[in-house]
Structure 1
Amino acid sequence: MSNPDAAGSAILDPIWATAHLEARRTGVPSTMVDAATGHRLAGDWRRACEAAAVDVRLDLTDVRERHGPDVCRQILADLRCFAPDLLRWHLPRSLPGGGPQKNLVLTLAEYPGAAALVVRTPAVHWAAGERLVLELAEPSPAGRRADRWRIVHHRYLWDADRSGEYAAIAVGPDAVVQAQDAGDFAAAWWLAGIDLHPGEGSRMMRHLRVNLPPLLDLRETVALRPGGGLAIVLQPRRKGPYASGVDAYVTSAMAAARLPVLPCPAWCRPLDHDLIRLGLASPMQLHPLVRQAFRGDPVAAADSVQIGCRGRAHRVRRENGRWTALDHDDRQDEAERFLIGLGAEAVGCHQVIAELEHAQVAEKERFAIVPRYRAALDGVMTWPEPDGVSFEGPGTFRAALSGQEINSWLMRRSRRNTKPLKGRSLPQRRKGAPLKPSYQGW
């Protein structure tokens, strides 16, 4: 796969990508991931949801009485593999600010009897922050907005047992991706085997992150609704027994109002793929379940790693902030470090430790500039800062932040507005309120 400079890709703005990644890291901190994962592996899905700031409004006893034991068992099986921190990682977010897009209903699974397991985001950011609500919807949510976030067939976004499918998503051959990076959307769609018929609003196509290969498998006419009043109608060719391919028509959202809506994950390029491909993020910066899905990533857990070293399975563990090789005695460890100091190439455990320590230092350096970055998002104009100091506020400088101060700031930032919601339902979006484009959310 091609690896162009991040600033040269038309489909992923590096400033937006950095802001989105920072919003993910603060909205899904490592403490939340570790706590939710521990409870999930222990079989306590309720406490896993609690650790990930998800309010559960689901009574399995009531479900059994109304839908029977079979449906109840299906729901319980889905809840036991539900990773709320993974779903929170993949949530579409609004920038600046970084909170989940408001008033969304994400359908996770559907069951007999017109019931569906759904997750709702708050209707207003200031009222509930980043808390989510898990409940059983009866009947299953319907409508264009609900269809956009129907992820029943994209379980890798929330199912821990199927998170590995995320890395296997086809993202197109090099020629198609290169054309998209260059902003030549017409050539990209043609190379992918789709005849694109431009129309009103085609100028937005240059920056649209469309994953083209899956669109060739469509069997019915559907519409993509990326936002901003734009719609793309996809119509499979059915003329003649040997006809194949898809025709795409760029039109307005109003003209495609009656057509079925293709869910965003079915057509939007997976964000983590492009972040790694363009060098905007390393696997160490991703969610652990996402990180494990990518081939070649040596990290298998937050604090413990099992790797192959000199033909054997060795373990590397983080203790007191440092990574150590558990299966090397002191004499072997000292000898290998001596050889590395003489210029020999690090292999096995020491190679992995070097990569992990480098990633850990990069993370601390990146988070040290978060206060200044937040001020830039708020529109505050700043000037170059002297060496050895960091930005704290408009026109204010201070000594560089220590590691303890950075961790303290991140903990306060990740816990904002996480009090449980009160009441039986979330507030609804004000009637007639405009919807902002959200096609970059996945």
Structure 2
Amino acid sequence: MTTAPHTAGPHVPGTDPEALARLRRVRRYAVPRAVIGRATERRLAGDWHGACAAAGVDVGIDLYAVRRTLGAETADAVRADLLHLVPDLLRWHFPRIWHEPAALAPAAVVVLSRPLGDRGPWLFARVRGKGPHESQRILLELGPGPGPEGSPHESLPWTTSRYLWDSRHVHETRERWGGSADRAPFLDPDGTPRARHLLPTANPGPDADPATRTEWIDGLYLGGRVAEAFAASGFAFDPEDFAEGDLSAAPNPRLSPGRLAAELVRLHAAGRSGRMHIRSKWNRGLLMRGDAGRPRIKTTTGFPFPPTGAPPAPEALWTRSADIDAVLAGVSPDHLHPVVRDALAPARPPADGPVGPPPWGPEGPVRVRCRGEWHTVTLTGGRLAVPHDDREVAREAALRTLGGVGQGCFTAHEAWTTGRGRLPKALRRLRADLFERARNGDTDAVLAYLDAGGDPRLRNGEGETLLHRLLHLDHGVLLPRLLDAGAEVDARDHAGYTPLGRAAASGGDASVLRALVAAGARPGGVAPGAGPRDPAPRGLADLLRWRAELDGRTGRPRPLDLEDVEDLL
């Protein structure tokens, strides 16, 4: 096949600033650097259970019960996979909702392995919460096989993508992302974006190094030459299924035809050659299978989709690496997961310190326009300090009580402590950064904020305090610090929930509920009105029963039951 030169350069999902900002946001907050460090330390010490706990991964597997019921061979095989599990890497790569907020995909069920090969149970992972604001913990479980095509387990098979979670296979990462021995596609060996003039402008031929070949094929695809891209990848298809220059035939700008072809061949070699689909937003998509010889692909149309009943293909099989795109979007390789950094930047000199997303740092003094002048407000002494004396503060409070319009410094202070009103951009950015870190389990960031003189009364735009995010954090360390600093244990957010109510309604662990009650939280005031069907809980036992009932109705994995309640009391 002859091909004309093209000038495709590095490409990231969409070209609009919002898409790039979302990508950088996910990689900044997905797995905190301190979490990676603690999980790695425990894993290298042979403590796989401690590594999982550090990474926010709950283990719903009792190896002693597995040994009793399924035999020693099964238990040993499951334990081998758990010993080599990199839980922080699993969290890093786990499917996410790629919009605001970029939370773990609640419906995703990722099949990790079948420890005994073609027999025995399957190891899989799912998210505990049912929405972006609920628990972001991942649950590992052992269960029966995926079942027929189209079942939830079948939709996200990572059984041939062990490099995403298994320490024995992480060395495959660069190759699986279309790279060569010394570099990843679109990047130089040190992880910097490759200069445009070094990208291929003509067919490099079948003997070119894999990274160059990937750049060429992806360039064809992104340039609208869809049929040529799939043909160059080795797909068999009817050329009439694709319209040249019509990207509506393609389901996603992040699709990499070369990667998809290679992964389908792997699936076929592993005995998993069933049909899968990739859907587009125009009710048009791709239907493919990894047949012997050449993988086959065709476009489909219609609603509802897919009419064939084929399960969706996991993004791990068909997209360009989100981490390559993140580097192209400006993220430093040193701010990626260490395993990913090694894959994307094999020639990069060792970092001066720990590798991973940057930790939280205090914001400098912020200038606020107040009474026609520029004033400086700072975080100090556990509060947002404004340059006004007590007499001015009292006068401003009286003015606001009488319905007057507040001035800049006082408006900023009120918004900081109530969640209502306008904050200066720098303070708004600091607040959003801190709450996003809290939602992703970054206890160290909240501690650093308090150590830097941060106000524990801080509220976000929904009126939540840091205690409302306690279900995502290490409450044993953080709860005493927040209470000692003056946080209110029964503060209500704008929806009427206390921290205890938010933790109970959002899948928080029972130990969080017990800790808040022990700290003085009132179980009877957790919700803005009634429970799911019954009146609001009046005591701890009532609260736990309410939570168990709610878990059962929302389908959360392993909900509390009445026996759990009795054990907790």
Shorter-normalised TM range: 0.5 to 0.7
Other-structure match for 2:138: 132
**1:150 lines up with 2:157 in the alignment:** yes
Other-structure match for 2:93: 90
Other-structure match for 1:234: 288
**1:213 lines up with 2:263 in the alignment:** no
Other-structure match for 2:342: 292
Q: Distance in 2 between matches of 1:74 and 1:12?
A: 45
CA contact (8 A) 1:27 1:414 kept: yes
Q: Distance in 2 between matches of 1:221 and 1:365?
A: 46
Q: Which amino acid aligns with 2:276?
A: A
Q: Distance in 2 between matches of 1:271 and 1:426?
A: 35
SS at match of 2:168: helix
| Superposition map of 1:413-428 within 5 A | 413-415=439-441, 416=469, 417-418=471-472, 419-420=508-509, 427-428=554-555
Residue 222 (structure 1) aligned to one of 268, 275, 280: 275
- TM-score, with length taken from structure 1: 0.65
Q: 1:151 to 1:19 in 2, by over 3 A?
A: same
**1:122 lines up with 2:128 in the alignment:** yes
Q: Distance in 2 between matches of 1:209 and 1:47?
A: 36
SS at match of 1:160: coil
Other-structure match for 1:433: none
Other-structure match for 2:451: none
Other-structure match for 2:104: 100
Shift of 1:212: 1.4
Residue 75 (structure 1) aligned to one of 57, 78, 90: 78
Deviation readout 1:26-61 (Å, 9 max, x if unpaired)? 231111111111111111111111111122111000
Q: 1:43 to 1:270 in 2, by over 3 A?
A: same
Q: 1:258 to 1:155 in 2, by over 3 A?
A: same
Deviation readout 1:80-125 (Å, 9 max, x if unpaired)? 1111111111122111111111122111111345411111113522
Deviation readout 1:176-201 (Å, 9 max, x if unpaired)? 222233344344334434345149x9
**1:182 lines up with 2:223 in the alignment:** yes
Shift of 1:224: 2.0
Deviation readout 1:306-332 (Å, 9 max, x if unpaired)? xxxxxxxxxx557xxxxxxxxxxxxxx
Other-structure match for 2:560: none
SS at match of 1:207: coil
Q: Distance in 1 between matches of 2:121 and 2:174?
A: 30
Q: Distance in 1 between matches of 2:171 and 2:120?
A: 29
Shift of 1:267: 1.9
Q: Distance in 1 between matches of 2:103 and 2:114?
A: 27
Q: Which amino acid aligns with 1:298?
A: R
Other-structure match for 1:28: 31
Residue 9 (structure 2) aligned to one of 4, 13, 18: 4
Other-structure match for 2:22: 19
Residue 438 (structure 2) aligned to one of 400, 412, 416: 412
Shift of 1:135: 1.3
Q: Which amino acid aligns with 1:165?
A: E
Q: 1:258 to 1:365 in 2, by over 3 A?
A: closer
Deviation readout 1:389-424 (Å, 9 max, x if unpaired)? 999886432767999x99966653533442437869
Q: Distance in 1 between matches of 2:147 and 2:297?
A: 29
Q: 1:399 to 1:192 in 2, by over 3 A?
A: closer
Q: Which amino acid aligns with 1:288?
A: P
Shift of 1:205: 1.6
Shift of 1:141: 5.9
**1:270 lines up with 2:321 in the alignment:** yes
Q: 1:255 to 1:46 in 2, by over 3 A?
A: closer
CA contact (8 A) 2:27 2:326 kept: no
As a proportion of its length, which structure holds more strand? 1
Residue 163 (structure 1) aligned to one of 170, 177, 187: 170
Q: Distance in 2 between matches of 1:402 and 1:225?
A: 36
| Superposition map of 1:327-346 within 5 A | none
Other-structure match for 2:69: 66
Shift of 1:19: 1.1
Q: 1:40 to 1:141 in 2, by over 3 A?
A: farther
Shift of 1:256: 4.5
Q: Distance in 2 between matches of 1:426 and 1:33?
A: 34
Q: Distance in 1 between matches of 2:432 and 2:349?
A: 24
| Superposition map of 1:238-253 within 5 A | 246-252=296-302
Aligned alpha-carbon RMSD (Å): 4.3
Other-structure match for 2:519: none
Mind listing any 5+ residue stretches in structure 1 that lack a counterpart?
306-315, 319-355, 370-385, 430-442
Between the two proteins, the alignment pairs up a number of residues equal to 349
SS at match of 1:70: helix
Q: Percent identity?
A: 23
Residue 396 (structure 1) aligned to one of 423, 437, 441: 423
Q: Distance in 1 between matches of 2:58 and 2:316?
A: 24
SS at match of 2:424: strand
